[in-house]
């Protein structure tokens, strides 16, 4: 009889430990999910900033080319044609 009671107490202690570990892991999981969400948001912001800077850089290159720097007019025409093609693609997407 005493052996059974000891086994029940041991089982109760293990169950309490498991429940405590479970609660800890649930809280830790919530914290990690929040951190992941925050990092994903930051990553999205950085990607958008990078795209904006790349557009600005490309516009600056085009402006420098059009400005009459040492580059040839052929390069300027190619860039303008590329911009026109990009605008045409945007118009097609808007019409869809």
Hey, where are the domains in the chain?
2-95
Asked if 62 and 79 count as a contact pair (C-beta separation under 8 A), the reply is: yes
List the chain pLDDT tens, one digit each, 96 residues.
678 888 899 999 999 999 999 999 999 999 999 999 999 999 999 999 999 999 999 888 777 766 665 556 677 778 788 888 989 888 888 887
Prediction pTM value = 0.53
Distance CA(12)–CA(20), nearest Å, equals: 12
Residue-level length of the chain: 96
């Amino acid at each position: 009889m005493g052996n059974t009671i000891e086994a029940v107490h041991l089982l109760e202690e293990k169950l309490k430990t498991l429940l405590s570990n479970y609660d800890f892991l649930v809280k830790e999981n919530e914290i990690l999910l929040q951190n992941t969400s925050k990092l994903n948001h930051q990553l999205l912001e950085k990607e958008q900033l990078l795209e904006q800077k790349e557009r600005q850089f490309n516009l600056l290159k085009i402006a420098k080319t059009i400005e009459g720097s040492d580059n040839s007019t052929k390069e300027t025409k190619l860039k303008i044609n590329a911009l026109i093609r990009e605008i045409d693609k945007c118009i097609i997407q808007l019409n869809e």
